Amino acid sequence: MSRLISSAFLSSASVVGVLALSGLLTACSDYNLVNPGKPNDNTDVTPPGDQPDIQVEPSTLDFGSVLRNCPSAPQTVTVTNIGAAILDVTDLALDNSKFSIDWDGAAFQLAPGESRDFQVGFTPDAYMAYTTDLLVDSSDPDQPQVTVPAQGAGDETALFEEGFTQEFYSSVDVLWVVDNSGSMDQELNQVQLNFESFIEQFVALGLDYHLAVITTDMDSPAFQGRFQGGVISPDDADPVSEFLAATNQGASGSGDERSMDAIQTALTEHLLSGGNAGFLRDDAALATIVLSDENDSSRIMDGSFQSWLQGLKADSAQVSFNAIVGDPTSSTRWLGGCSNWVGSELLQADAGDRYVDMANATGGIWRSICYENYDETLAHISLSSAGMVTTYQLSQMPTNFGLIQVYVNDVQYYYSLTDGWMYNSDDNSITFHGSALPGPGDRVVIQYPIDGECN
């Protein structure tokens, strides 16, 4: 009996031992004895099959350069559930208002393997770089928020380019109107000292010119539109001396300066075929130049004077009104006028608004009578009288003045008041100075950025 019990006990113990050994071997099979920190290859390490997994493509967005205030071409962002359970997408957010996404704000679900596309846009409103992050929130347990960096920049269009050819009239009649009132001593002296800068341009161009001088005085019978001296031409032995003598009319004339009245009187009968005969030619351009330190007091209205003056030629483009006068009133110079020491002489003038308006209306130019570089002023007026251009109006408005590029015959000139060019924001123009002045037949090319049209 005892033997049977003992035998049975051993059998039972054996079974328990076998089971224990079997469990130990199973446990050992899951444990890497060589590398205790790493499971054996047959261990299942994949996440549980009931988890969602988000994927957002692309990982970054780059819109490059986009015209200011224009929408970019949209870029597609794809959100995909690559997991094995439903993915809840709760938010898509951008932290910069210049970027946008076509999401309606409602949370949505993606089944395993399902995708959804969104369009992201960019609209810059300044010339600068922009960055943002697209944040995508979801129920992905491992990555609840995905960040997609985005960038772009506001830009201009490609440089706008326009070209000009410097032309001139081979024959020109130039009528100078000199203010001979009591305040003009210093200014007349500057013209006397620098007049060669005017006549040298005519000589260099080989122009067939007529010069004549009248004054602003319409009170004294000695003036009233009558030429002071005769008609000066290249045939004269010393045109410079003749002009200086003609302009030397002192400063005792009428203080009621009436330049426009004087011009009209000088170029109509009875003077035109009398004392002023031989000046005005049918085949020559006509330029008038006023030198005065006060505004015009003529009785004739500006519109009537302009119509009459331009009507003297079949082509009104051949007629120009030019002025060396006081600076006009403007938004930045509401009193107008000017004052400046030139050497030991103080040059002063009231605003020459009527003169400046007439110059602008007829395609002529005006220069400040107080500008210290009278030689350059007279050179510019000379070129304008000959039909040449020292100031070029731009047809578009530059968006960045620092990117303006100017070329004369493929040679680049730079921003300079001496031997280059200046930009005038008041009338959106480029004015040349010094050695940069385009000569006859020269090709001028101006490049500058502008606001483009949105695609």
What is the reported pLDDT for 158? 59
Write out the E strands in 272-409: 285-291, 319-325, 338-342, 345-349, 366-368, 391-393, 405-408
Q: How many Å apart are CA 201 and CA 206, to the nearest integer? A: 9
Helical H runs in 48-104? none
The answer regarding whether domain 54-155 maps to CATH 3.40.50.410 reads no
43 or 237, greater pLDDT? 237
pLDDT digits (tens, 9 = 90+) for 146-188: 999 999 998 766 568 999 999 999 999 999 999 999 888 888 8
13-22, 31-40, 151-160, 165-174: which is most confident: 165-174
Please state the φ and ψ torsions of residue 419, each to the nearest 5 degrees: -125, 60
Round the CA-based radius of gyration of the chain to a whole number and report it.
43
pLDDT above 60 for 74: yes
The token pair at 404 is 């303006």
The token pair at 38 is 């790493």
Give the chain's end-to-end CA distance (angstroms, integer): 106
Domain boundaries, the chain: 54-155, 165-388
What is the reported pLDDT for 6? 37
What is the reported pLDDT for 332? 63
Alpha-carbon 397 to chain mean position: 5
The token pair at 159 is 């440089």
Q: How many Å apart are CA 327 and CA 108, to the nearest integer? A: 69
40: which DSSP letter?
A: -
What is the reported pLDDT for 10? 37
Helical H runs in 340-373? 353-362
Average pLDDT value for residue range 235-254: 89
Contact 297/257 with Cβ under 8 angstroms?
yes
Q: How many Å apart are CA 136 and CA 138, to the nearest integer? A: 7
What is the reported pLDDT for 433? 85
What is the reported pLDDT for 344? 84
The percentage of residues in the chain with a pLDDT greater than 90, rounded to a whole number, is 61
Coil, strand or helix: which one is 96? coil
Average pLDDT value for residue range 293-301: 96
**Where residue 126 falls among pLDDT bands split at 50, 70, 90?**
confident
pLDDT digits (tens, 9 = 90+) for 265-274: 999 999 999 9
What is the reported pLDDT for 24? 39
Average pLDDT value for residue range 219-227: 96
Contact 280/312 with Cβ under 8 angstroms?
yes
Q: How many Å apart are CA 188 and CA 15, to the nearest integer? A: 133
Q: What is the mean pLDDT of the chain?
A: 86
pLDDT digits (tens, 9 = 90+) for 86-112: 999 999 999 999 999 999 999 999 999
The token pair at 396 is 């578009």
Residue with tokens 């000199």: 178
Lowest mean pLDDT among 49-53, 79-83, 141-145: 49-53
Contact 180/187 with Cβ under 8 angstroms?
no
**Where residue 333 falls among pLDDT bands split at 50, 70, 90?**
low
Average pLDDT value for residue range 204-224: 94
Average pLDDT value for residue range 231-253: 90
Please state the φ and ψ torsions of residue 139, each to the nearest 5 degrees: -90, 10
Sequence-separated (6 or more) residues with CB below 8 Å from residue 64: 152, 153
pLDDT above 70 for 36: no
Contact 295/248 with Cβ under 8 angstroms?
no
Residue with tokens 């290249």: 234
Q: With CA atoms as reference, report the closest residue to 367 among 416, 359, 261.
A: 359
Q: What is the DSSP string of 391-450?
A: EEE-SS--S-GGG-EEEETTEEE-B-SSSSEEEETTTTEEEE-GGGS--TT-EEEEEE--
Structural fold of domain 165-388: Rossmann fold (3.40.50)
What is the reported pLDDT for 235? 94
**Where residue 453 falls among pLDDT bands split at 50, 70, 90?**
confident
The token pair at 4 is 């049977």
pLDDT digits (tens, 9 = 90+) for 377-419: 888 888 889 999 888 999 999 988 888 999 999 999 999 988 8
Q: With CA atoms as reference, report the closest residue to 177 among 440, 49, 359.
A: 359
